[in-house]
C-alpha cells in the first residue's frame, strides 16, 4: 500500500504538467496549424546550427484572449557565448561566398517564407495581436526585402576615382562588417528582422537575432524556415543565429566587442541605454526608436482623403506602430467638421479577434499596455483635454481598448509630447503654416510626418529645409505605410538609423579607399 501511495505521489507532478500543457493553445485542435511551423508545447529558443537553450522557460500569450500559446526555453549567457563563437566562425565561410551567390540563398529564403505566408501571418496575428491581413503583410514585407536584396547583391560597391598621382586610381572597397546583432520589438516581429537580415546577409555578414520575449514563437518559427534553406545549401546555420532572451542577453549584445554592428528597434528610453553601451566600446549601432508623428491638415485639403488616412494612421495595429499618427493638427476653420467626421468613422471600426478577416482593429499587446493607455487618457483629461471618442477599456476577454480621440489640449501639453504606444489621437488647432511646421518639429522624436494640402508651394516648403525634420515626410498620405525601396528611419530621438532600401546597405559594411 505504501508503495502504491509513493507511486501516486510521484505521478502528481507529471499529471499537473500534462494538464498545464493541455491548456496551451498549441495543444488544442483549433490551433493545429501551429505544428506546420514546427512549434510544440516547449520550444528551443537558441539556434546556432543546432537547436538548444538552457535559460528560463517563458510562455507567450495571445493578446486577444490572454490564453497561453506555448513556451520557449530562452538562452542563458552560456548559450549566448557559444552562439557568438559559432556565428563568428560561420561568417568566415559566408564572407567567402560571392555576393550574387549569397543573394541566391536570400532569394530562396524569400521563397520559403512565401510558401508559409498565411500560416506565419496567422502566428503573428495570434501572438502579437495585429489583424490577420497585417500579419500576412508583414511576412510579405520580408519577402519583398529578400527580392530587393537579390538585385542589390549584384550592385553593391564603390566608385573608382581619379588619382592625382600618375598611373594610379583610387578604389573605394566595401566589405562586410562581420557579425550583425539584431534586436527587434514586439510590434513587427517578422518585418524588422527581415529588413536587417536580408540586406546584412547579401553584404556578407552573419546575423544574431534577439526578438522580443513576448513574440518568441514568431522568432523561432521564422528561424526554422531560414535554417532549412541554409541547411539545403550546405552553409553553416549559425549564419542566421537566434538567441531568445530578455534584458540580460540584450545587454550582453550591446557590450560585446565581437558585435560589429548592433541594430536595435525599440523604445527611445532603452535605445539610449543601448547606444551608450555600444558607444562606450566605440562600436557601431543602428537605432530605430520612437515616433511622435503628426498629420497636418490645411483648409484646402481633400477631406475624402483626410478622414480614412487619419483613421488608418491612428488606429492601425491598435496604435502600436512606430509610425502611428499621435498628433492631428487641423486648421481652425475645419477643426470641428473634421473631428465630427472622424468620430463617425471611428464608430464604424470593426473590433474583434485579429484572425477574423472582418476585423479592422485588434487588442493591445499586453495588460501593461492597457494600463499605460488608461494612464495617458487620465493625464490628458487632467491637462485640459476632452475625450470626444473612446477612452475606455472594452469589456471583453483580452487587452482591448477603445480607439480614442482627445481634443482641447495645447500643442505643448506634456502628454502630447509623450509617445504612448496606444490608439490615442490628440487633435489640435492651428492658424498659420509657419507655426504648425514648428509644432510638428518641436517633439523629441523625428520619425514620420504628413501634410494634406493642394498648395504646391506649401508642399515644397514642407519637404524642404524649413519643413518637416522627420526621416519620413509624406504628402496627402498617412504617416504609416512606408515602402521597402526607400530608407526607413528617423532623426533626433528616433535614433538616426536607416534600414531597408536606398543606400541603407552601407550601414552593414565598412569602406576602405
For 46: left if phi > 0, alpha if psi spans -120 to 50, otherwise beta; the answer is beta
If DSSP codes are grouped into helix, strand and coil, which group holds residue 365? coil
Distances (CA, A) of 141 to 44, 92, 121: 26, 29, 11
For residue 280, indicate whether it is catalytic: no
d(CA 145, CA 462): 29
The C-alpha angle with vertex 332 and arms to 330 and 336, in degrees rounded to 5, equals 80
What would you report as the CA-atom Rg of the chain, rounded to the nearest whole angstrom? 24
> What is the enclosing helix (H) or strand (E) of 282?
none
Cell of residue 211, nine digits: 526578438
State how far the Cα of 326 lies from the Cα of 294, in Å rounded to an integer: 6
Beta strands in 91-247 (DSSP E): 160-162, 169-171, 173-176, 179-183, 206-210, 240-243
Q: Distance of CA 84 to CAs 199, 233, 311, 333, Å? A: 20, 22, 44, 59
Where are any strands of DSSP class E within 352-454? 386-389, 404-407, 424-430, 445-446, 448-452
Phi, psi of 59 (to 5 degrees): -100, 135
The b/e string for 124-138 (b: 16+ C-beta within 10 A; e otherwise) is bbbbbbbbbebbbbb
Q: How far is CA 428 from CA 84, 330, 404, in A?
A: 49, 6, 14
Paired strand residues for 329: 296, 428
Distance CA 51, CA 96 (A): 25
> Does an H or E element contain 383, and which?
none
Could you tell me the end-to-end alpha-carbon distance of the chain, in angstroms, rounded to an integer? 83
Catalytic residue among 288, 419, 433, 499: 288
Instruction: Give catalytic residues, as residue numbers.
Output: 288
Amino acid at each position: 500500500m505504501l508503495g502504491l501511495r509513493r507511486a501516486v505521489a510521484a505521478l502528481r507532478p507529471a499529471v499537473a504538467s500534462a494538464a498545464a500543457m493541455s491548456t496551451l493553445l498549441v495543444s488544442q485542435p483549433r490551433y493545429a496549424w501551429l505544428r506546420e511551423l514546427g512549434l510544440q508545447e516547449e520550444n528551443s529558443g537558441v539556434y546556432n546550427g543546432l537547436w538548444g537553450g538552457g535559460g528560463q522557460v517563458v510562455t507567450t500569450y495571445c493578446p486577444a484572449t490572454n490564453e497561453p500559446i506555448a513556451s520557449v526555453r530562452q538562452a542563458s549567457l552560456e548559450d549566448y557565448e557559444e552562439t557568438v563563437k559559432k556565428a563568428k566562425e560561420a561568417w568566415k565561410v559566408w564572407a567567402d561566398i560571392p555576393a550574387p551567390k549569397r543573394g541566391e540563398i536570400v532569394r530562396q529564403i524569400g521563397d520559403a517564407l512565401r510558401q508559409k505566408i498565411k500560416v506565419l501571418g496567422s502566428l503573428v496575428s495570434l501572438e502579437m495581436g495585429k489583424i490577420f491581413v497585417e500579419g500576412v503583410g508583414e511576412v510579405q514585407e520580408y519577402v519583398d526585402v529578400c527580392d530587393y536584396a537579390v538585385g542589390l547583391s549584384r550592385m553593391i560597391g564603390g566608385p573608382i576615382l581619379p588619382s592625382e598621382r600618375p598611373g594610379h586610381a583610387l578604389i573605394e572597397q566595401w566589405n562586410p562588417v562581420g557579425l550583425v546583432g539584431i534586436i527587434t520589438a514586439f510590434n513587427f516581429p517578422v518585418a524588422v528582422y527581415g529588413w536587417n537580415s536580408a540586406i546584412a546577409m547579401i553584404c556578407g555578414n552573419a546575423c544574431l537575432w534577439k526578438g522580443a520575449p513576448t513574440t518568441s514563437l514568431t522568432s523561432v518559427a521564422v528561424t526554422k524556415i531560414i535554417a532549412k534553406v541554409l541547411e539545403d545549401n550546405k552553409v553553416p546555420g549559425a549564419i542566421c543565429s537566434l538567441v531568445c532572451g530578455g534584458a540580460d542577453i540584450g545587454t550582453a549584445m550591446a557590450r560585446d566587442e565581437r558585435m560589429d554592428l548592433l541594430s536595435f528597434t525599440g523604445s527611445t528610453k532603452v535605445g539610449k541605454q543601448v547606444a551608450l553601451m555600444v558607444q562606450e566600446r566605440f562600436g557601431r549601432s543602428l537605432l530605430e526608436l520612437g515616433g511622435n508623428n503628426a498629420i497636418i491638415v490645411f483648409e484646402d485639403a481633400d477631406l475624402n482623403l483626410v478622414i480614412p488616412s487619419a483613421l488608418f494612421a491612428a488606429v492601425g495595429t491598435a496604435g502600436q506602430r512606430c509610425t502611428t499618427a499621435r498628433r492631428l493638427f487641423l486648421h481652425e476653420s475645419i477643426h470641428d467638421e473634421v473631428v465630427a467626421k472622424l468620430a463617425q468613422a471611428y464608430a464604424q471600426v470593426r473590433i474583434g479577434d485579429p484572425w477574423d478577416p472582418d476585423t479592422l482593429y485588434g487588442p493591445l499587446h499586453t495588460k501593461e499596455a492597457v494600463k499605460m493607455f488608461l494612464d495617458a487618457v487620465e493625464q490628458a483629461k487632467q491637462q485640459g483635454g476632452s475625450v470626444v471618442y473612446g477612452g475606455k477599456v472594452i469589456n471583453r476577454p483580452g487587452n482591448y481598448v477603445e480607439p480614442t480621440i482627445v481634443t482641447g489640449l495645447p500643442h505643448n501639453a506634456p502628454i502630447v509630447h509623450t509617445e504612448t504606444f496606444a490608439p490615442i489621437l490628440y487633435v489640435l488647432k492651428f492658424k498659420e503654416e509657419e507655426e504648425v511646421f514648428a509644432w510638428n518639429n518641436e517633439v523629441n522624436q523625428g520619425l514620420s510626418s504628413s501634410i494634406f494640402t493642394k498648395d504646391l508651394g506649401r508642399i515644397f516648403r514642407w519637404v524642404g529645409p524649413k519643413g518637416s525634420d522627420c526621416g519620413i515626410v509624406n504628402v496627402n498620405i498617412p504617416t504609416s505605410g512606408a515602402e521597402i525601396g526607400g530608407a526607413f528611419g528617423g532623426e533626433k530621438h528616433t535614433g538616426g538609423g536607416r534600414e531597408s532600401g536606398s543606400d541603407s546597405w552601407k550601414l552593414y559594411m565598412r569602406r576602405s579607399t
